Amino acid sequence: MSRSIYRRIVLKLSGEALMGSKSHGIDQSVLVSISRQIKEIKDFKVDVAIVLGAGNIFRGLENTGSRGLEMDRSVADYMGMLATIINGLALQNVLEKFKMPTRVMTAIEMERVAEPYIRRRAIRHLEKGRVVIFVAGTGNPYFTTDTAAALRAVEIGADAILKATKVDGVYSADPLKVKNAKKFKNLQYIDVLKKRLKVMDATAVTLCMDNKLPIVVFNINKKGNIKRIVLGEKIGTVVR
């Protein structure tokens, strides 16, 4: 039987990834597909933590500006954090239908719907084989869910961040718009920062660089990709 090259991972899912073919909201078929892929790697005894974005419901930065009538950045970011909690509860519901015990842990305390984030408790859940979903970002405005993924990954001692996207890696330009965009199989953190490649925001990349935490960027829509990555196949782009 094949063995996983990772003991513990953080899967970063954008809100847009949860939309599927919809223009907004949550596509249940996407949640089912993601849950099946997570079930596959749980069979290889991999600890799985998930960090969710909120772009399918509300993206804070897009609703701020300097024209006076637009929303204050802090208010918008807090609204985005609350939207990640909605996504987390939706994913938990489907994961548990696949018989995977799951805990949602929030950086903004909301005891009736999720546990408060406590590092030691999160690690204990993972050690017991539970899937842990981290929501509400870092609990602070001005920080993205990418930064939250990097922070939580470092805190729980993850071996890698798996960054789920709609394309099969990192390109020199948007491959959906630029036909001759070059795909990178491997990148160094400093290259991502210098070239301003849209892997994760600079704060998240710097945190990964400082802690030597690899980032694997891959296409979540291709079924089986998560399993292939944890078994060591060269999928997508690896930043290290």
In angstroms, the CA 54 to CA 79 distance is: 9
Q: What is the mean pLDDT of residues 209-235?
A: 96
Q: How confident is the model at residue 198 (pLDDT cuts 50, 70, 90)?
A: confident
Structural domain boundaries in the chain? 8-235
* Residue 192 predicted with pLDDT over 60: yes
HEC secondary structure over the chain: CCCCCCCEEEEEECCHHHCCCCCCCCCHHHHHHHHHHHHHHHCCCCEEEEEECCCCCCCCHHHECCCCCCECHHHHHHHHHHHHHHHHHHHHHHHHHCCCCEEEEECCCCCCCCEECCHHHHHHHHHCCCEEEEECCCCCCCCCHHHHHHHHHHHHCCCEEEEEECCCCEECCCCCCCCCCCEECEECHHHHHHCCCCCCCHHHHHHHHHCCCCEEEEECCCCCHHHHHHCCCCCCEEEC
Cα-based distances in Å from 101 to 48, 66, 205 = 11, 45, 31
Q: How confident is the model at residue 177 (pLDDT cuts 50, 70, 90)?
A: confident
Residue-level pLDDT at 29: 95
Lowest mean pLDDT among 95-99, 189-193, 197-201: 197-201
Residue-level pLDDT at 61: 66
Torsion sign (Cα): 225, 161, 170, 62:
positive
Other beta carbons less than 10 A from residue 206's beta carbon: 17
* Residue 2 predicted with pLDDT over 90: no
CB-count burial class (<10 Å; 0-12, 13-18, 19+) for 190: exposed
How far does the chain reach from its first CA to its final CA, in angstroms? 28
- Which tens digit of pLDDT belongs to each residue from 102-160? 999 999 999 999 999 999 999 999 999 999 999 999 999 999 999 999 999 999 999 99
- Tokens linked to 181: 């965009």
In angstroms, the CA 187 to CA 228 distance is: 20
Architecture of domain 8-235: 3-Layer(aba) Sandwich (3.40)
- Which tens digit of pLDDT belongs to each residue from 45-81? 999 999 999 999 987 666 676 555 578 989 999 999 9
Whole-number percent of the chain with pLDDT over 70: 95
* Residue 164 predicted with pLDDT over 70: yes
Give how far the C-alpha of residue 2 lies from the chain's centroid of Cα atoms, to the nearest Å.
Answer: 25
* Residue 93 predicted with pLDDT over 70: yes
- Tokens linked to 88: 């987390």
* Residue 22 predicted with pLDDT over 90: no
β-pairing, 102-106 vs 47-52, is: unpaired
Q: What is the mean pLDDT of residues 174-185?
A: 88
Residue-level pLDDT at 1: 55
